[in-house]
Structure 1
């Protein structure tokens, strides 16, 4: 035996006109419920279409439809900013990739594009090692190294700060500095002298017409000592002097305990120096700037074939 529902039992006792009105209301209510269910299911059913359109816009450069950007937020009439940024970024990547492929030859177009990460790009840095002439801006660094090297040993500086600036402004081409990552680690300061032996005036004067390169000071920063930087810098300085047309000798004065150090670099003893600083006395040494390299590139015999080549007279100590 079938049982009637409460609504059907009520219909049995209601007039016919009322029954028709109630039926039409039920049909409208059912349609409204069906429409709400479809609206709720629409974003989830079209999510795959949204992802597909985004992939096509990134890969093929197709513009993304405005209504697609609004599907995830149907109540908001404005597209989401993050979605617009992703689409714009995809277009830029696509354009860059296509431009690089078009720039390559046809045989290389099939190669994979190299991936460069910003984290592994080389940054701009100072050169690891550099040897160059000094200038007036380097005077303070020069004097700090010189003061630590000489005052701790002998109590006197070969050149004071004003004298360092004087020579670096007057004849910077006769100076040489060794820099590592922009830091001065060793240096040489020199000038020209026009006599065979050094005199007291040679400590402060520069003679542009002289033929002797007077080496005032060679110093190395305390952190970089015992590494061979002094002899290497001196060797480079002597090779540099070979390229100067008027230089015939390199001369210097040093204390007695430094004579073996300069002997190893090729210097020879001229004798006791006439210059004294307080109670300190010095030995005068020289290095001949001559030979095949000098004759080949800078000799006056090449510049003036008829002029005789004059060298300083040999002394008994030179033999």
Structure 2
């Protein structure tokens, strides 16, 4: 394989290109982009965000390896943020805590930028995330809570409903769901 050196490229200039599509763990520097997508996705539907900017920064500092962002041409288009949990079911404390000794990955939020919704990106990102979790030796299962209208979406991703979630946010009630990562 012969690769042209940067000096021999047309015009003698090195061209900087971004990958068309890239999946990577998020960093605290991504927090503002994450929050902008999340706010737009959730405020119109439920009136509140699962994570506020300070909480996003908190989790991206504490456990960035449990996040996954989808970038197209360097721009964040979809993401998942998770943390570890050490109980069988989610509780109010699960919304803000990362239990480093836990074996359940609590998926706090999955959001897709409005300009690329209805293209299957949420399902693809969740599939990639679950594949990634299989590589983490401590992850045994993934947990999430969602509004009832989202249950069919998560069931198509392989999650099973565990029933009503103990956690409520204002008037919103949630269904708790789980997905085995390894037996």
Matches within 5 A, 1:83-122: 118=10
Please, which runs of 5 or more residues in structure 1 have no aligned partner? 1-115, 292-319
Do residues 203 (structure 1) and 70 (structure 2) align? Answer: no
Q: Give me the TM-score of the superposition, normalised by structure 1.
A: 0.54
Pick from 101, 105, 116 the counterpart of residue 213 of structure 1: 105
Matches within 5 A, 1:1-319: 118=10, 123-290=15-182
- Note the C-alpha offset of 1:123: 2.2
Inter-partner Cα distance in structure 1 for 2:19 and 2:139: 31
Say which structure is richer in strand.
2
SS in 1 for 2:172: coil
Inter-partner Cα distance in structure 1 for 2:158 and 2:49: 25
| Residues 90-143 of structure 1: per-residue CA shift (max 9 Å, x gap) | xxxxxxxxxxxxxxxxxxxxxxxxxx8836988221111110000000000000
Inter-partner Cα distance in structure 2 for 1:136 and 1:198: 25
> What root-mean-square deviation, in Å, do the aligned CA atoms of Structure 1 and Structure 2 show?
1.5
Inter-partner Cα distance in structure 2 for 1:276 and 1:119: 60
Inter-partner Cα distance in structure 2 for 1:259 and 1:218: 14
**2:4 paired residue number:** none
Say which structure is richer in helix.
1
Runs of 4+ in 1 over 4 A off after TM superposition: 119-122
Inter-partner Cα distance in structure 1 for 2:95 and 2:21: 30
SS in 2 for 1:127: coil
- Note the C-alpha offset of 1:246: 1.4
Q: Give me the TM-score of the superposition, normalised by structure 2.
A: 0.93
Please, which runs of 5 or more residues in structure 2 have no aligned partner? 1-7
